[in-house]
Structure 1
Amino acid sequence: MPLVEILNMKEASVIPQYNNLYGIIRAANSILEFTDRLKDRGWNCRKSSWTEVEVTSPWAELEIIKDGKEIIVQGAIDSDYFESFSSLLNEMGYQYELEIYNIQKELIKHYIVTCKRQQRPTASPSFTRGRCG
């Protein structure tokens, strides 16, 4: 079953009324590339200012902000889907750092993924431990 279908299966998602997700996406060519790839996976996207895009799903409401060479992600996500969002970024091949907090502003999880996008095999491919996608 495709990841998009799995992520949309939960019926009663609980998106908190406060920001609990903060992160940085690296290795994205542009904010439009990143948000278009989310849109291709079933997310709703709309430009909310000159430099920001709002992306939503049944389980998250996030602001995507371009900051130099990095993309800042902040907003509210159903904590049950934090792992799913991380897996989605892995599937898309991005390097990223994500943090999720509880209502008391205590850090629950902190992920750092620094692997590079998969490249086409060469005549003598080299393999590294761990994979993004």
Structure 2
Amino acid sequence: MDGPVLPDESNVFGSLHTSRSPEWVARAFVRSGWDVRKCSWTDYEITCEFAELVIERSAVEPEYVLIHGSVADVRANLPRVAEPLAAAGIPYSLECYNAECDLIHHAHG
């Protein structure tokens, strides 16, 4: 089998404190080499060899953009998810969970 194995369930959930649009956030990932596609009228799917994530505006708190999805080897790759956010100056909070739904790591920047 080639490449990292993505978990079947989402294991990363995060909030981004920004008034920027989900499209603007997705473009930050494009600049870092991720693939991006629009997956609804307003949401974006971002992918790379180790992750499949969705970026969407929070319906409850419009000053937040949400990011969630599956990341392979989450402890090793979470910094790689955070890099485009930090480079774009987007404040973030990311949580990682194991297969038993236990919180295993929290990162913010």
TM-score higher than 0.5: yes
Match of 1:35 among 3, 26, 36: 26
Q: Report the alpha carbon displacement of residue 27 of structure 1 after superposing the two structures with TM.
A: 2.4
Amino acid across the alignment from 2:15: I
TM-score normalised per structure 2: 0.85
Match of 2:37 among 28, 37, 46: 46
Q: Contact (CA 8 Å) 1:27, 1:95: kept in 2 or not?
A: yes
Q: Contact (CA 8 Å) 2:30, 2:36: kept in 1 or not?
A: yes
Q: Report the alpha carbon displacement of residue 86 of structure 1 after superposing the two structures with TM.
A: 2.1
Match of 1:57 among 40, 48, 59: 48
Q: Secondary structure in 2 aligned to 1:25?
A: strand
Amino acid across the alignment from 1:82: L
Q: Contact (CA 8 Å) 2:50, 2:77: kept in 1 or not?
A: yes
**Number of residue pairs matched?**
103
Unpaired runs of 5+ residues, structure 2, are none
Q: Contact (CA 8 Å) 1:28, 1:34: kept in 2 or not?
A: no
Match of 1:26 among 17, 21, 27: 17
Partner of 1:106: 102
Deviations 1:20-44 (A, max 9, x none): 0000011252111111121121111
Partner of 1:72: 66
Larger radius of gyration: 1
Structure 1 pair 49–37 and aligned structure 2 pair: CA distance change class (3 A): same
Amino acid across the alignment from 2:66: I
Q: What is the RMSD of the two structures over their aligned residues, measured on CA atoms?
A: 1.5
Q: Which moved more, 1:33-42 or 1:53-62?
A: 33-42
Greater relative contact order, per chain length (Cα 8 Å cut-off, separation 6+): 2
TM-score normalised per structure 1: 0.71
Q: Secondary structure in 2 aligned to 1:86?
A: helix
User: Sequence identity, in percent?
Assistant: 28
Partner of 2:3: 12
Q: Report the alpha carbon displacement of residue 62 of structure 1 after superposing the two structures with TM.
A: 0.4
Amino acid across the alignment from 1:75: G
